[in-house]
Amino acid sequence: MIARETLDRAERDWRMAEARQAETRERAAVVDAAARLDELARADAEVQLARATLAEARALLEKTAVRAPIDGVILRKHHRPGEAVSLDAPQPAIVTMADTRALRARVEVDERDVAGLATGRDAWVTADAYGARRFEGRVVRVGRMLGRKQVRTGEPAEKVDTKVLEVLVELAPGTDLPIGLRVDAFIER
């Protein structure tokens, strides 16, 4: 003999166990069931969308990278990290860089002295900062057209209305001069 309450509790526990067993069988059937075609198509579309979103994010990230067009040395930074840069900006350049393996001097030759200029001629430059020291080089380019004088010495007797021919003198390898230094150039005839 058992108490009625104990019997009721045991029957209730038995019915709950049967219900849990049925629920577990249903879950197992759902898990084991083959996927429906519409669910497969939706899952494939979500995968393709995720791949496209990843490709777009990579492309946008790639646009944030700045690559130098040449090997060289950064001479000056015009912007700080994180600043926006645009071609329409007053200063669109991010940096000023140069290939310092071969230094060149841009020389303005007065129109009276252009006869006999040719590439390959020996040349040298001097700079006040280096005293009488000569930096050897050679002419690598002679301009084709005379133009206005751009470099001014500041001397009162200097003629400013003369025409000049631009000549490029490449200095010997290993020459170490600051970029932008004003020099006096001499070209052999």
Residue 72 shares a structural domain with residue 116: no
- pLDDT single digits (tens) 118-136: 999 999 999 999 999 999 9
What's the pLDDT tens digit per position in 68-99? 888 888 889 988 887 878 778 777 788 889 88
Residue 125 shares a structural domain with residue 158: yes
Residue 25 has pLDDT above 80, yes or no: yes
- Supply the pLDDT for residue 1: 61
pLDDT at 105 over 70: yes
What one-character-per-residue DSSP string does the chain give?
Answer: ---HHHHHHHHHHHHHHHHHHHHHHHHHHHHHSPPPHHHHHHHHHHHHHHHHHHHHHHHHHHTT----SSS-EEEEE-S-TT----TTSSS--SEEEE-TTS-EEEEEEEGGG-TT--TT-EEEEE-GGGTT--EEEEEEEE-SS-EE-------TT--SS-EEEEEEEEEPTT----TT---EEEE--
Q: Does the pLDDT value for residue 112 go beyond 80?
A: yes
Look at the chain and report how many structural domains it folds into. Answer: 3
What per-residue confidence (pLDDT) applies to 173? 92
Q: What is the pLDDT of residues 36-64, one digit of tens each?
A: 788 888 889 999 999 999 999 999 888 87
Q: State which residues form the domain around 92.
A: 66-100
